[in-house]
Structure 1
């Protein structure tokens, strides 16, 4: 069975100022995607059915199922009438570890903590990235979300998906992924970086969404010490970023940004005109 297209064109009646016209809209597909390890489903999420191998690798890394992409020995995407399956096989040490912590997680795209079975999992310990060296410039942070716009073909067609991008200081965005779920977009990006052998510690993760706890957790698990977003962080996410040593910038626009944590990595600053 072929994989579904990430978008499809549909008809709609466009009402404006008392007039009605027919328009066509490209809307993003949303399908159930199961992460299956050694024949057992670990998680089911609603996602855009594209870049699923990247999604699988990123999810495995940010959930702590594997510590390195080489610990996934095989990965296969299968289509089913009710959704998609990503079947993975792990090296022996990781297979034993996942058997010890087996859980099922089903949730909508807007929730990155659905299905956890303890508070400890929601507030898990994160890597300490305070010693990670990455030189950030004010120009990089201010222009990050605008630069990401050039990497959002699904958004341009549908206006209904999020994106996550990886920015190398001085070079701009070098990779991006899109999905109806902001968490899924970030997992896909992290997986794509891992498969390409690109170290997230050497750049900045850029988000088209708000910064929630799960987004900071995924950033830390990926080993990236800088995160910039178009929208606001939550207070809990801010505390996590501070504790994990992540430089967090938000409300990023072409004319500036707001820097909340670990400003020491910023090599040049926008003048304070307030």
Structure 2
């Protein structure tokens, strides 16, 4: 009997499958659905999972179902698999879609169905993701820990209140795009200063990677780390002043708010 179904074999679905298999989950215990049969064959050949084109067949008798589809498709997928899931009260349904509440999925399933909402991010593609998990009303501790354990195969996991999920979307779900934008801007700035694009990319990406590792491994507050680099009347503080006067901090406040607001809109 298969124990996991991944509905949607796109980038997030594939990242999850890759992490699960790498962590030791038997690929024969992972059902993956994709409307494109060729994509399903690729996933089978690459990871050894069991491909499906029909969602109801894939979720039959599994313990956890991951919905790795776009927010607009969640309702239709849940309706499609509801009869099969309802017949197996041990199945936990996990939504990876932004803005879709636990209540929306719970209402489409039989009373008492365990539902978990997750906000992942794309670094899970390289095993460095951050997943925020919000359990629904009917999720037991054992079921929650099973989901957390599976998601830890692709990065770190934090359990949060569902009321925080819009903020979580702004801070971790969408923030890799902010980082990529900053990297892009730094690389272009380096080219403007006369560096080749290859050298500028190596320097910018390497500095960002090292800085992130430094924050994580030392546990030191970013404010202190920044101050340590900013010598009096030095080069770094001159750059920091320009960024502050250009409104960088305020731009991030506004960007995070816009992201959270959009997340809330998707849930309506």
TM-score normalised per structure 2: 0.30
Structure with the greater alpha carbon radius of gyration = 2
Greater helix share, structure number: 2
Name the structure with the higher strand share. 1
